Amino acid sequence: MTTTIALAGKGGVGKTTVAGMIIKYLAQNQSGSILAIDADPSSNLNMVLGLELEWTVGEIREEMLQQVKSSLMGGGAAMGTLPGGMNKRDYLEYHVRSSLAEGSRFDLIAMGRGEGQGCYCAVNHNLREVVDALSARYAYVVIDNEAGMEHLSRRTTRDVQHLIIVSDPTLRGLVAARRIAELSRELEINIENRYLVLNRVPNGRLPEPLQAEIEKMDLPLLGVIPADDDLTIFEFTGKPLVDLGDDSPVYQAVAEMMGKMLSQV
């Protein structure tokens, strides 16, 4: 059975950093294969993981649509096939698998750009099926979502065991986190557990006003990640964050949260 962990939150709160630390923890402490899905159009989770990214799913989708347009004159698109006799589903599956960036303990697929002009309903349905089938072959799937709530309103985040909503240590951040949690319930997305994580907390200690606000929320606080100068240096230099030492306060905080979360399954 696949355990899916999705991250959400407003822009700039450090979702990708937290995703990288979660993947590092899983790779070091859990058996089974790991798939990272970068659902942010900016596609930079590969830099956090130290992997080269050649293709994104968005580029594959656009390329397929161009192939379909080119085959219209020959009737191929009407028959549901592409040049070479390959049907659309097989085309997508082949190229999505080819786009995987492979690491020693985890693989990465990037969703990339959003839709351009044209009809995407059928191809997006096929893509969702392909990605779902691919995900089912992994023990863990970690999804780094785009900023805000767009991915939730489009229902591209669904059927997950753990939704981690990341916030910065501000009241505005907590308001955004609460709205994301409420929206996820209104859309009836199949999410088993929802958690709040506060990132970049000075000295790892919550100010009293923030603590009081969190207590009002129907969203359990999974943990707090301290601000850390070493991580900032990694980000400035572009070094993969998964290379942070195990003694990093950031990694230690995430590891403690993951141990607690996964033990509840």
Instruction: Please give the domain boundaries of the chain with CATH numbers for all domains.
Output: 1-32+139-265 (3.40.50.300), 39-138 (no CATH)
CB 46, CB 108: distance < 8 Å:
yes
- In degrees, to the nearest 5, what angle opens at C-alpha 253 toward C-alphas 226 and 9? 70
* SS3 category, 104: coil
For the stretch 52-81, pLDDT in tens is 988 888 888 778 777 766 665 555 444 455
Residue with tokens 């909503």: 165
Element (H, E) at 185: helix 171-186
Give the pLDDT score at 122: 60
Beta bridge partners of 191: 160
Give the pLDDT score at 189: 78
For the stretch 150-186, pLDDT in tens is 666 666 666 889 999 999 999 999 999 999 999 888 8
Question: Which has more pLDDT, 112 or 140?
Answer: 140
- Please list, in sequence order, all residues whose beta carbon lies within 8 angstroms of the beta carbon of residue 125, skipping any fewer than 6 positions away: none
For the stretch 208-255, pLDDT in tens is 999 999 999 999 999 999 999 999 899 888 899 999 999 999 999 999
Beta bridge partners of 148: 9
pLDDT tops 90 at residue 92: no
Q: Which among 260, 257, 237, 187 has a CA at the least distance from the CA of 50? A: 237
Q: Which among 129, 126, 166 has a CA at the least distance from the CA of 144? A: 166
Question: Which has more pLDDT, 189 or 263?
Answer: 263
DSSP string across 34-57: EEEEEESTT--HHHHHT------H
- Over residues 34-58, the mean pLDDT reads 89
